[in-house]
Amino acid sequence: MTPPRESAPALAPRVVALIPLVLALLSMIGPFSIDTPFPAFAEMGKALEVSSTELQLVVTAYMLAFASMSLFHGPLSDAIGRRPVILGSLAVYAAASVACAFAPSLGWLLVGRIAQGLAAGGSTIVSRTVIRDLFDGPRAQRMMSQVAVIFGVAPAIAPIIGGLLIQVGPWQTVFWFMAVLALLLAVVSAVMLPESHPPERRVPLRVGEIFRGLAEVLRVPAFHRMTWAATLVFGAQFLYIGGASIFVVDLLGEGELDFWKLFVPMIGAMVVGSLASGRFGRTFTSAQLITLGYAVSTLGAVIGVVVALTPAGSVLPWAVVGISFVAFGNGLAFPNIQMLMLDLLPGRRGAVMSASTFVTLVFNAVSAAVVAPYAGGSVLGFAVAAAASVVLGWGCWQWHRVATRRAVPA
C-alpha cells in the first residue's frame, strides 16, 4: 500500500478511511442538483405556468453556470487551498437553493439555478484534486474509484429522492432539501477534511496566474485527447440523464415516480464498473482499464441501437440494456482517465480538473438543450445519438494511445 506523500498532512487511519466518503459526497453535489428536480417538473410547470420545453432551461441554466465557473474553482484552490473553496462554495450553494425555493416565476428560478451552478463546482471539482494531493499509486486509484462509486449513485438516487419529496410537500421542498444537504456537507467537511494543498505548493493569487495556469493546461495535447475521450463517452450516458423526462415519461410512458427504472440500472452498472476498476487497479494499468472500459461502452452502444430497432426497444427493461453497458464501461474507465489527466501537470491539478470539467459540462449542457429534444422523437434517436458519441470518444482514446506510443523513444 502506497503511503501518503511526505509533504501531505499526517492523517489518522480513521480519518483516511472516511476521506473517500466525504469527498464522494462533495463530488455528488453537481450531478445530484441536475436530477433531483425532474420529478417536480410537472408541478413546477403548473405553478409557474410554463411548458416542459421551457423547464429544460432549469437544467441548461444550471449546467452552463456550472461550466463557466468551473474554469476558476480549480485554479482558485491552487492559490488559496482546497478547504476555503469547498466550504465557501457550499455556503453559496445553500443560499442559492433557498432562493430557488422562494422563486415566484421561471425567471427568478433560473437566477437561483445559475447561482447554484456557479457554486456547485467548488465541491464537485476541487474534491477530486484532494485525493491526488494526498495519495499516490494504487491507493489513489482505489480511492478515486470509491469516490466514483458514490458519485455515480447520485444521478440514480436524485430523482427518487425528488419524487419522494414532492409526495410530502410542494415542489419547493426539493430546493429546501438541497439547502440542508449543502449545510450538512459544509459542517462535515469543516470537521473531517484536511487541507491537502499547503502554502508551499500554492501559486500566486492573481488573475493573470489563474489564466496562465489554464493556458498551460490547454497547451498539452494529451489533455485534449483524454478530455474529449472522457467527455464524449460519458456524454452518451448524460444524454439519457439530461433527457430523462423525455425518455422516461414521453417515450416509455412512465410516471413521475418511475425515473428509477432508467437511473437504477444505468447508474448501478456504472457503480459496478467503478468497483471493478478499484479491484483490478493492482493487476492492470490505468491505460489498460480505460481501453477495456471503452471497448465495453462501444459494445453497449451497438446493443442499444440493435435493441431500439426492435419492438423491445420501447419496453423496459430492454430499453436501458445498451446504455447500462455504456455506463459499466464508463465506470471502468472514468476514474483512471481522471488520474492520468491529473498527473499531466502535478503543479496545476486544480486547473487540469477545472478545464476538463468545463469541456464536459458545456458539451453536456448543449446535449441536454439541443440533442436530447431532437433525439427525443424516438427511442432509436436516443440510441443512435448515444452510439455516435461513444464511437467518437473511443476514437479519441485510440488516438491518444497511438500518440503516446509514438512519443516514447525507441
What would the DSSP string read from start to end of 329-395?
A: HHHHHHHHHHHHHHTT-GGGHHHHHHHHHHHHHHHHHHIIIIIHHHHTT-HHHHHHHHHHHHHHHHH
pLDDT, position 96? 95
pLDDT, position 156? 66
In whole angstroms, what is the distance from residue 60 CA to residue 56 CA? 6
Q: 242-299, pLDDT tens digit by residue? A: 777 778 888 888 876 777 788 888 888 988 888 888 778 778 888 999 999 999 999 9
98-112, 163-177, 187-201, 266-280: least confidently modelled range: 187-201
Grid cell digits, residue 41: 417538473
pLDDT, position 289? 92
- Taking the whole predicted model, whether its pTM rises above 0.85 is answered as no
Residue 152 has pLDDT above 80, yes or no: no
Residue 6 has pLDDT above 50, yes or no: no
Q: 101-113, pLDDT tens digit by residue? A: 999 998 999 999 9
Break the chain into its structural domains and give their ranges.
13-407
Go through 156-181 and write b for each residue having 16 or more CB atoms within 10 A of its CB, e for each that does not.
Answer: bbbbbbbbebbeeeebbbbbbbbbeb
Q: What is the mean pLDDT of residues 184-212?
A: 79
pLDDT, position 10? 53
pLDDT, position 151? 66
Residue 99 has pLDDT above 80, yes or no: yes
pLDDT, position 376? 67
Q: 320-372, pLDDT tens digit by residue? A: 999 999 999 998 998 889 888 888 887 777 788 878 878 887 887 777 677 76
Residue 41 has pLDDT above 60, yes or no: yes
CATH architecture for segment(s) 13-407: Up-down Bundle (1.20)
